[in-house]
Amino acid sequence: MEGESIQDMKSLHLIRIGLLAFYLLGFIVNSFVNIPFLLEIRAVAALIFFGCSFRLLKPLNAKICFSLLCIGLCLLTLRENGFGFWGRAVVENAGIISLILMVPLLGLILRYAPYEEVIGNIATRYIRSEFGYYTTILLVVNLFSTLMSMAAVPFCYQLIRANATKYSKTILAKALSRGFCANMLWCPNFITVAVVLQYLNLSWNELAPTGFFFSLVALALALVIEKFSLTRSDENEVRDAAPQPVETELSQGELKYLYWLGLQILLVLLLVSFLSYSLGKNVFVTVPLVSLLFPLILALLLRKLPMFWDGIEKYLTTTLPGMANEFMLFSAVGFFGFALAGTTLAKSAIDNLLVYFSAYQSIIPLLIIWTVAGLSMIGIHPIITIPSLAICLADTTLGMSNIQLAIPLMTGYIIYLILSPVSSMSMLIAGLLGRSVFDVSVRINLTYSVALSISTVLILKLLA
């Protein structure tokens, strides 16, 4: 009996992998070729996956999904009931889901060279102060998150573990969270960017220049605030009597790896932009394509195909099924958003929001930021708030373009991630460092969050 149970679990695991793989492949094919009923078949596959996997949801995510599905179901019953209509509702967020689930494939290129060893060695030799330690981690996690998204946080923690015992864990927590979150304003493989592109009807090429500028502002602000904080602190010295790193010139091999890594990241971004322009497709199509094809092409050129196939096997057997929570959560959000759009409830919400925001015209971006961040503190996740606000506020008469709306919406999500004790970022860093979630969120990032929101509003006013 026990053997049969294990066999059944393995079979169910393979079914989940097959359903997700079909869903992703079907979305990409449907983006180029209009195959009759493929959308509906994908919707059925998604529903079967829900049936097989709903018990795998984390308790909070299960409550969110169930609530959104029930509300969406009630709203949809008031509208037309064709099979195709319901199918579109189920796969409304297929683009966002495909992007999120396929982006981890970009991390395969890190298997082709010893980047981890090289950067770890450089960090050990060149970090000479707490501010240097903070800056190094901030920039390294920012760099790797363009390829690995949130997986960059534990990856970079492993890189600097040799130095971590000599410096404050508070500094490490600040650098990890702030360095990662800065990319959430422009990088195409981040959830925030995907959501605002979807619900504000923007292309990545439109958003990227403005988002990248605000990302640089977020990084500069993180450096300035920490420099000021360390200047005032009495803990500027290294904690133990370990010898200071010996600064030596970078070897030609180390420089080669650093240049090559930077070139690969640049090529990925250029390829996404080129395909979006030449194919006329958005990043929900081009980023998954690049995530799969770029590591494959690179493996062919470098003769690293065995490494590529090993990575694909690990992705299919471990990484992809491990993202069941993300699949179901974003499917439920899309279902709810599809149901909400066009209802009298949405129109009423738009009218009420316009009255509310029009009364405070000069600080609308600040209100948007803290509406997203504030509601997250009481349990309403930004992936619910942002689509709802985007649907209500896009193309309204508030005097803001959709790009100007996108920046405060994404900034609100950033503040949620670094400030909320229940955010995935806070829980991840707390687990890595063995600290409480409060210690790595509100206690260390409140000042930065307030400064970031105010800076964003002031710059938006100047650019208006």
Structure letter (DSSP) for residue 243? P
What's residue 163's pLDDT? Answer: 67
Q: What is the dihedral of CA 426, 431, 432, 433, to 10 degrees?
A: 90
Domain ranges of the chain: 2-94, 105-302+341-463
Determine if the pTM surpasses 0.95. Answer: no
- Per the CB < 8 A criterion, the answer to whether 430 and 440 are in contact is yes
Q: Which of 381, 329, 79 is nearest to 88 (CA)?
A: 79
Query: pLDDT by residue for the chain (464 residues), tens digit each?
Result: 455 466 767 788 889 999 999 999 999 998 898 887 888 899 999 999 998 888 888 787 788 888 888 888 888 887 666 666 788 888 888 888 898 889 889 888 888 888 877 877 777 777 778 898 899 899 989 988 888 788 788 888 877 776 677 788 899 999 999 999 999 999 988 888 988 998 888 889 899 999 999 999 999 999 999 999 888 765 444 444 444 555 556 677 778 888 888 899 889 888 988 988 888 888 889 989 999 999 999 999 999 999 999 999 999 999 898 888 889 988 988 888 788 765 666 556 656 666 666 666 668 889 889 989 988 887 677 888 888 888 777 666 567 888 999 999 999 999 999 998 878 888 788 888 888 888 899 999 999 999 999 999 999 988 87
Q: Which of 296, 261, 263 is nearest to 102 (CA)?
A: 296
Can you give the length of the chain in residues?
A: 464
Q: What is the SS3 assignment for 288? A: helix
- Per the CB < 8 A criterion, the answer to whether 23 and 87 are in contact is no
> What would the two tokens of residue 417 be?
């991630």
Report the alpha-carbon distance of residue 343 to residue 164 in Å, rounded.
53
Structure letter (DSSP) for residue 316? I
Cβ partners under 8 Å of residue 116, min gap 6: 110, 155, 158, 159
The identity of residue 221, as a single letter, is L
> What would the two tokens of residue 383 be?
């992936």
